[in-house]
Amino acid sequence: MRLALLALVSIGLMWADHRHQHLQEFRSTVAMLVYPVQAGVNLPVQAGAWVLEQLRSHQTLVEDNRRLREEHLHLNALMLRFEALEEENARLRELLDTSVRLRDPLMAAEIMAVDLDPFRQQLVINRGRVHGAYPGQPLINAQGVVGQVLESHPLHSIVLLISDPSHALPVLVNRTGLRTLAVGTGNPQLLELRYIPPAEDIEPGDIISTSGLGGRFPADYPVAQVTRVERIPGESFARVEARPLARLDRSREVLLLRPVNGNGDATERPAEIEAEAPAAESTPEDRP
């Protein structure tokens, strides 16, 4: 009797959770009940990292410091040129009467040492609604795009990696400007590029980056490197594989992006591109 009632409640819950997004509040409440356990599991890992840091010898610290200083100097020198280029770019864009692109603010987050369903590519990070994380927020690290926030709870968030089979990311090939879709495969080392006609110019080694077309990810963040192109005679699309640039299975620090809206990418750029050709998803054969 009780069982039947609870079964009905479960089915109702699943249906509501799957079809609609009304359960966010309830989900967060349950998630907060579990959070202490997850934080507890994460604690020894964090403590271990802290102890290791304390035990680092003076010698290594000095060396690290010197190396980082050099790197900093190097990067600063590069940034000098970058800033000049950015200003030039803004000026040219103004001349062309298109939107000016702003730099996106970042928020650092740490990946918690907590496992989720082994058959889905998800992570837990230690930033939640309190810190300003919201569902759909893009995540990057120093190498490239990592994923996006799936659910944001008060103190932590669940992240969907770009390698999850349910994740598709609108991208373009840097070298040729060819637009395509990077779809996850469930393997953190492998993405599939969809809807590329066999005649297209794409080669192993090409870097692909976000196109900004989905409206969620800002444009021009590097995503992956093409590893294999297979053109099968008789098939309408080539089979193209790519390896994510961000080491999805071993990075620990990530950055949450907060795309600049208003006159930024997310709203203006898609319209500007659509003037030339429709979106990548709908007409794969379009050619820039």
Partner 1 sequence: MSNPRGWVWAIPLTFIVALALTVVPLPDWAAPWRPQWLAMTLIYWSMALPRRIGVGLGWFLGLLLDAATGALLGQHALGFALIAYLSIRMHQRVRVFPLWQQALTVGGLLALHLLLVLWILGMTGRAPGTWLYWAPLVSSMILWPWLFVLLRDVRRRWCLALS
Report in angstroms how near the CB of residue 60 gets to partner 1 at its nearest.
Answer: 26
Residues facing 228 on adjacent strands: 241
Report in angstroms how near the CB of residue 46 gets to partner 1 at its nearest.
Answer: 12
First-to-last C-alpha distance (Å) of the chain? 63
241 within 8 A of 141, measured Cβ to Cβ: no
Looking at residue 218, the DSSP 8-state letter turns out to be P
Binding site for partner 1 (CB under 8 A): 2-3, 6-7, 9-14, 17-18, 23, 26-27, 30-31, 33-34, 37-38, 40-41, 45, 113-120, 122, 150-151, 158, 166, 249
- What single string gives the DSSP state of each residue in 252-280? -EEEEE----SSSHHHHHHHHHHTTS--T
Nearest to 279 by CA among 198, 217, 212, 199: 212
Report in angstroms how near the CB of residue 63 gets to partner 1 at its nearest.
Answer: 30
Residues facing 180 on adjacent strands: 171
Q: In terms of CB distance, is 97 or 117 closer to partner 1?
A: 117
Q: In terms of CB distance, is 27 or 131 closer to partner 1?
A: 27
Q: In terms of CB distance, is 22 or 228 closer to partner 1?
A: 22
202 within 8 A of 211, measured Cβ to Cβ: no
Q: Which residues of 103-139 are buried (b: 16+ CB within 10 A; e: fewer)?
A: ebeeeebebbbbeeeeeebbbbbbbbeebebeeebbb
Report in angstroms how near the CB of residue 47 gets to partner 1 at its nearest.
Answer: 14
Report in angstroms how near the CB of residue 192 gets to partner 1 at its nearest.
Answer: 15
Report in angstroms how near the CB of residue 34 gets to partner 1 at its nearest.
Answer: 4
Q: In terms of CB distance, is 27 or 239 closer to partner 1?
A: 27
* 33 exposure class (CB count in 10 Å sphere: 0-12, 13-18, 19+): exposed
Sign of the torsion angle spanned by Cα atoms 159, 161, 167, 168? positive
Report in angstroms how near the CB of residue 278 gets to partner 1 at its nearest.
Answer: 27
Report in angstroms how near the CB of residue 177 gets to partner 1 at its nearest.
Answer: 33
Q: In terms of CB distance, is 12 or 132 closer to partner 1?
A: 12
Strand 179-184 relative to strand 191-196, pairing: antiparallel
Q: In terms of CB distance, is 23 or 107 closer to partner 1?
A: 23
| Residue 166 CA from chain centroid, whole number | 13
Dihedral over alpha carbons 81, 84, 86, 91 (to 10 degrees): -150
Q: In terms of CB distance, is 30 or 79 closer to partner 1?
A: 30
Q: In terms of CB distance, is 7 or 84 closer to partner 1?
A: 7
